[in-house]
Structure formats: structure tokens, C-alpha cells
Amino acid sequence: MDELTKIPGDTNYRNVYLSDLRQVLNIYVETETYQVPEKHSLPAKKLTEQFGLPLAIVESKDELIGFASAKMNDLKKVEFTSYYKKGISKTEIQPILEQLAQSTFNATFKSQPQPEKKLEYAAQKLAAWLNKCL
């Protein structure tokens, strides 16, 4: 059984920056058993809007250890999902991380008409862009 690493008190929660996306994608790949296609190889499973829109990250000792995304569930409702590096205990950090993601989502989308459609569109565009960059 894998041993879980307890996170020390020196964690930092913040919004996601463009420069974080490679690390965010690496965590997603690790946790979702997603296969990243190698350049010039046969097409592999591609990211979809179910990757979501990463909105918040948590760092420990200047290392990104988790992130939270907003995405649409099967009922077309917004849900917040968090992903963590293998071996990280999420018990203490998950509620704070997902609350930051929800606050960021509300500040970004809630004042606009049809925030769910805007989120879905943004997640589709991000997934398409990342698929081109892989």
C-alpha cells in the first residue's frame, strides 16, 4: 500500500498561471492514467473538456502538488474536482483548494450570462489548445 505524505504547514494556495499548465497536465496524466501522445506517433487518447479548467493550485516547498478544476458534470452542472501528485494526503488541502477554485470561478464567470456554457466552451478550447501543444 502506498504511504501518503502529510503536507507541512508551509503550503501555498493560488490561482493557476499559464506557466503552471505543464505541471498541472503532468499531475492529471499521473492520476487519470491518461496517455500523452508522443510526437509523430499514432493518435492516442486526447484531452477533452473533462480535463476541466484548472483554476487553483497548491504548492509545498515551491513544488506544485495539486490543482483544482471546474468542469461540467453529466447533469450539465459545474463541479470542482481536485487532483494530486501520487502519495499526497489530500484530507487537509482539498477543501481549501476547491474553495479557491470555486471563488475564482464565481469571480470569473458568475457575473456573465450562462456561466456554465462559458465554462464548457473555455474547457473545450483549453483542451484543444493543449492537444495541439503536446
Cell triple for 90: 489530500
CATH number for the 11-133 domain, one of 1.20.120, 3.30.70, 3.40.630, 1.10.3470? 3.40.630
Contact call for residues 53 and 126 (beta carbons, < 8 A): yes
Characterize the bridge pairing of strands 53-60 and 78-84: unpaired
Q: Give the domain ranges of the chain.
A: 11-133
pLDDT tens for the chain, 134 residues long, are 344 445 556 889 999 999 999 999 999 988 875 555 555 443 456 888 889 999 999 999 889 999 999 999 999 999 999 999 988 888 889 999 999 999 999 999 988 899 999 999 999 999 999 988 86
Contact call for residues 100 and 80 (beta carbons, < 8 A): no
